[in-house]
Structures are given as structure tokens and as C-alpha cells.
Amino acid sequence: MSTERGTQTLREVWRSGAARLRQAGVEEADADAELLLLYLLGIGKTEWLRDMREPFPVEKLEVWESLLARREKGVPVQYVVGDQHFYGRAFEVTEAVLIPRPETELLAEAVLRIGDELFGPNGQGGSCPVVLDVGTGSGALSVTLAAERPTWRVIASDLSEDALAVARRNASKLGVGGKLAFVQGDLLTPFMVNGPGSDVEIDILVSNPPYIPSADIEGLQREVRDYEPRLALDGGEDGLNPYRAMAGQLTALKRLPRLVAWEVGAGQAADVAGLLRTAANWDDVYCVKDYAGIDRHVIALCK
């Protein structure tokens, strides 16, 4: 391998960058170095495979070094490049929002499928359901639902104004800026009796709230522990505080949603399902497994 600057190929630069990340304890060093390099060069996977033997542009070396340095320190690669794909769309992510996870795509799929069963495919049954996404963060769920079902009326809420700003930008970038309403507030409080959204009749309530037990946060990967927003992680002593609160708030809404769909942490599904069963008389309460076979989403239905 050549050691002279300006004579290394893209492949050589990628391999040396991956080695640096690996030495720094980055688990997906090869993949992350590749992602950083593609971001730096503004190219896609096809171009990368075609051009990896081309010389690395020396004028980009300083920026390349800074990208690697941030990742070496533990900054998640998604924050370094500024986006994460979710349900086929690129979402802006900053340290104000949780990085969308693949398992949450299964929650979106479940809501889309059940919503079509309840209200007709894409509202063709004459119903245009009102959807509330609590703790929207980047807007991954709310924007996806609005984009996939244009007739649905989607509300995105979050306690963090910084998170809502990211969600607004994503909605605008992805072509649904005029289809979403954004509300700042804590869980269901804005939509309860005497709240500013108390007149809203919510048909579908979806949420991926904080569910990590407080004592477990220090043991998380440094990428999560040190960089993702604690507000979006900390679910209280046992991780169930947001679910308890929302379950207790359901009866203070103008009406009970016909569909409640919540993401939960590993081992929490039975407890969350119990909270929902206690809160109201549902026709059905069941769990949806994630890719690892873990009960990851709790669904409650009033048919």
C-alpha cells in the first residue's frame, strides 16, 4: 500500500480508515468507514464499487480526517453524516433526536396494515383517520405514515422543541410538510380535557417512547449513552413510566382511539399490554415480534 498522500486509492483510504475505527473500538468499522467515505465523496454504492481503484482526492483529506475523528470518539455514524434511512426514506438526524431503528419500521407496517383494515385502504372507505404520533423525534413514524397514506391526518407531538424542528424539516424535505400538524407537549397532555388539542378525536395512537430503565443507561453502548438524547431514552426506574402515564391518560381523551400501537423494550410487552387492558375494554390486545423474535410492539384494538 502506498503511504504517500495523494497516491492512495479510494479502497486503500477506506481500508486504513476502517482499521483506525476498529482500533478505536467501533464494532461496524468496515461499514462505517465505507459510509463516511461515500458521504465525503457524494457517491453511491454503485459508483464506489466502480471507482474504488481511483485515486483519493487529496483536497478532501482534511475533511476525511475530521469525519474519522468524530466516529473514533463514539459519535454515531448517522449523526456524523446527518441522516438515517427509514422505510425507504432518508431522514435528517441530529443529536436532538433518537436515531430511527429498523425494528420501528415493523411498527409502521403494523399501523399501516391495521389502519387499512379499520378505515379502508388509504381512506377509500370514506374515513380519514386522525393519527397521533407521541414522541415523534425525527418524525420517522409520523412522516412515514403521512407519506404512505396521504388521506390520513397526522399529528406529530414531542416534548422537545428541538426534536420538533428536526421533524418539521424532515416533513418538508419528504414532501408532506403541509399534511402534518406539530404539537409540543408531554405525552397525551395536550390532547386531554382542557388541553389545547382536547377537541381532537384521535383514531390511531402510535408511540415509540423512552423505555430504557434509568439504571441501565450507563451500561449502554457509548454511541447511545453519550450521544443520543437522554430524554428519548430514559423511561424511569423500570422503563415503564411513559406507558403508565399514557395508559392513565387514555380516558381523558375526547374518545378512546380505535388503534393504539406502542413500541416497547425487551421484556416489557406483557406489562405494557396489562396496562392497556386495565385502562380500557379493548376487543383485542396482542404483541408483534421484531426481527430477533422479541415482543417489540403492543397493539390494542377497538374494532
Cite the annotated binding site for S-adenosyl-L-methionine by residue number: 135-139, 158, 208
Q: If we measure between CA atoms, which residue out of 76, 88, 61 comes closest to residue 4? A: 61
Alpha-carbon distances, residue 91 vs 146, 173, 183 (angstroms): 14, 9, 20
Answer yes or no: are the C-beta atoms of 217 and 234 closer than 8 Å: yes
Residue ranges for the binding site for substrate? 208-211
The position carrying cell 414531542 is 158
What torsion, rounded to 10 degrees, do the Cα atoms 114, 120, 121, 127 define?
A: -110
Count of positions (residues) in the chain: 303
**What is the 8-class DSSP label of residue 228?**
S
Answer yes or no: are the C-beta atoms of 259 and 107 closer than 8 Å: no
Is 25 exposed, middle or buried, given 0-12, 13-18 or 19+ CB atoms closer than 10 A?
exposed
Residue ranges for the binding site? 135-139, 158, 208-211
Answer yes or no: are the C-beta atoms of 98 and 138 closer than 8 Å: yes
For residue 215, how many other CB atoms are within 10 A of its CB?
A: 10
Q: Quote the Cα angle for 32-38-44, to 5°.
A: 120
What is the spatial distance between Cα 39 and Cα 56, in angstroms, rounded to a whole number? 14
